[in-house]
Structure 1
Amino acid sequence: MRLTKPRIAPVAEGDWTDEQRELVAPMADRGAILNIFRTFLNKPAAMKGFLGWGSYILSKKNSLPAREREIVILRIGYLCKAGYEWTQHVPIGQRAGLTDAEIARIKAGADAPGWSAADAALIRATDDLHHQQFVTEPSWADLLKHFDQGQAMDLVFTAGQYTQVSMLLNSFGVQLDEGQTLDPDLKGF
């Protein structure tokens, strides 16, 4: 975590406007409203746009299978040192089929022993995007050995979305939700 307290405080439920209540109503129906969304309530119009694009990235409309999508999201979260993002997506990745060993290996990158060629290609392309804001020709060619063009596009969309999310979380100081524990590798950034 970059900050030990919020720069932008989550909006307390008692202070919500009708517009803010409307934005979080679907989340409230499913359970607790996460700190990320309580924080984003400070800018309802931005939150509305954010939710629209995020819905695509996390839906079945994204042609990357959920497991592969979570590899990309977790790798970006780790590279951006976004403790909140990592903490939220580890259980999502597990539900999508990632093992604890694979999740730990995401931190080590594409050359860590044990990755399939397809998984390594995903991670290399994600690393390119993080470091160069561009997928290099060798990485793109490798990616297309395992994924079709639409899936390669969705990898870029996903990495871009979660780079933005990581920037927002880190800059706003969004703190972990109740009951969550920060990965020790993401402390002190």
Structure 2
Amino acid sequence: MTDAATSEDARLPPLSVEEYGRLLRELGAEPVAESAVRLNVTRMWAHSPRLMLAQQPLQRYLRFDSPLTPRVREVATLRIGWRCSAPYEVMQHVEFALTQGLSESEIAALFQEDVGTGWSPAEAAAIRATDELHALHTVTGSTWEALSAHFSPAEIVDLLSLVGRYWTVSVVSNAVRLQPEPGAAFSDLPGAPTAHGGAP
């Protein structure tokens, strides 16, 4: 791994809050919640205003309107963030996952090759599917059977799309070396990634 792959200097700093607000006004876009504006990832996407606007409905759907349970959503999101060694993505979703009832020990287990036992059958299937999508760019027949046993067709499509969405967020945040917000830090849970694009 080269120094260029692990340096913690941001390559593409997010717009300032003021610049972001001015951009939204120029675009005639709907206001964004203050909690979202504070996030560096929100203002990083603003470097491509049309993409920023185009992806917002998908992001809202996957976060708030999908039939996937919040736990399954966060399990898959954290797992793909870990697989991509994306410290910013993992940092944000550790906090989201805690609010959805995952414990710190459960979250830390997602940062290991062997996630252990104690997961529901649906969660275990989601973890397997996420791992295979990352490694194989598809899922095996046995994993498809497990998904079909615990998820509706709509939920399966949403799960696959969720993993793809947060793979995109992970690799983009790694490439631009997105940094924590002021006063925040990358997760210090065991196994959590600390360098953009490093192992695993």
TM-score, structure 2 as length reference = 0.84
Instruction: Find the aligned partners of 1:127 and 1:20 in 2 and give their Cα distance.
Output: 37
Q: Which residue of 2 aligns with 1:179?
A: 183
Note if 1:150 corresponds to 2:157: no
Task: Report the counterpart of residue 116 of structure 1 in structure 2.
Answer: 120
Aligned to 1:47: 52
Query: Matched residues, percent identical?
Result: 30
Query: Is the 2:74–2:93 contact (alpha carbons within 8 Å) kept by the matching residues of 1?
Result: yes
- The amino acid of 1:116's aligned partner reads S
Flag the 1:37–1:113 CA change in 2: closer, same or farther, 3 A: same
Change (3 A) 1:173 1:145: same
**AA aligned opposite 1:187:** T
Residues 15-164 of structure 1: pairs in structure 2 closer than 5 A: 15-16=19-20, 18-21=22-25, 23=29, 25-28=31-34, 30=35, 32-60=37-65, 62-109=66-113, 112-164=116-168
- Report the CA distance shift for 1:24/1:43 in structure 2 as closer, same or farther (over 3 A): farther
Change (3 A) 1:187 1:111: closer
Q: CA deviation at 1:159?
A: 0.3
The answer as to whether partners of 2:98 and 2:104 remain within 8 angstroms in 1 is yes
Question: How far does the alpha carbon of each residue in 1:1-26 deviate from its partner, in whole angstroms, 9 at most, with x for none?
Answer: 94412111211244457433455832
Checking the alignment, whether the CA contact within 8 Å between 1:110 and 1:119 is kept in structure 2 is no
Unaligned runs of 5+ in 1: none
Question: Secondary structure at 2:150's aligned position in 1?
Answer: coil
Q: Give the drift of 1:66.
A: 0.7
Count of matched residue positions in the alignment of Structure 1 and Structure 2: 187
User: Kindly tell me: are residues 110 and 54 of structure 1, through their superposed partners in 2, closer, same or farther at Cα, counting changes over 3 Å?
Assistant: farther
Secondary structure in 1 aligned to 2:9? coil
Residue pair 1:77, 1:163 contacting (<8 A) in 2 also: yes
Superposed CA RMSD in Å reads 2.1
The change in CA–CA distance for 1:155 and 1:17 in structure 2 (over 3 A counts) is closer
Structure 2 CA distance, aligned partners of 1:24 and 1:169? 24
State the distance in 1 between where 2:170 and 2:74 align. 14
Contact 1:110-1:124 at 8 Å conserved across structures = no
Cα distance in 2 between the residues matched to 1:133 and 1:82: 18
Letter of the 1:49 counterpart: A
